[in-house]
Amino acid sequence: MVYLRDWPGLWWILDNLLSFHALAGCDSTSSFSGHGKKKCWKIFQNQPLLVNGIGRDGDHHPQFFCHLYGTPAQPTVEHAGLHLFGKGNRALEMLPPTRDALELHAARANHQAKIWLQADKEHIDVASPTETRAWKKESEGIQAVWSRLPHIPDACLKLVTRGCKSKCKTAGCSCFRKNMKCTSACGCEAIHCCNPAEQQSHITCI
């Protein structure tokens, strides 16, 4: 049997367990690519107060995510992402989310944990999910708002090299498949390129 006096941090773990579950990923919130609940749990065990704001309308602590992505020395997720990107050995989906995406995720986790924390009450005081601005109403129900920023800034597209071939008029072109414009960094160099996303009506493709 474990007593609270023998493990002082246990109280903080118990008090923030629902907050942790919502933030790390559950049926109504997303999880982090390549980072399962087990890895999140190890961080939570050592620093349970990092998720204390979730479910209580408080701020999420960026250090939880910096620890999750193995960059505890970095002050923000932007610094963590830049640090990992600079190493050049991580797939893009394995990089930390942007601050904007993380704020939306934390808002969804806060909403879910807020419901759980009031489960012992007859009436739950929780606003509509869409009022968090982390969900939006669609014809088929509500959908998560993953980001309020452009998916890929145009300036970044010019820095990405893709394996395009000449013409680029079939799905063999990776830009064609993703409905992205070819650039001078592509294999085709965007010269006489027939990628429909280019919308180059002056080029005749045969």
pLDDT tens column, 177-201: 777 777 776 777 777 777 766 554 3
Residue 134 pLDDT class (50, 70, 90 cuts):
very high
The answer to whether residues 161 and 185 touch, using CB atoms and an 8 Å cutoff, is: yes
What's the pLDDT score for residue 128? 92
CA proximity to 22, closest of 128, 110, 138, 85: 110
Average confidence (pLDDT) over 107-127: 94
Residue 99 pLDDT class (50, 70, 90 cuts):
very high
What is the pTM (predicted TM-score) of this model? 0.71
- Give domain limits for the chain: 9-144, 150-206
State how far Cα 64 lies from the chain centre.
14
Q: What is the pLDDT of residues 52-69, one digit of tens each?
A: 999 999 987 889 999 999
Q: What is the DSSP string of 137-202?
A: EETTEEEE---SS-SS-HHHHTT------SS--STTSHHHHTT----TTSTTTTSS---GGG--TT
Tracing tokens 């002050």 back to the chain, one arrives at 75
Q: Which two tokens stand for residue 164?
A: 């395009």
The least confident of 30-34, 77-81, 84-88, 156-160 is 156-160
What's the pLDDT score for residue 149? 84
What's the pLDDT score for residue 38? 94
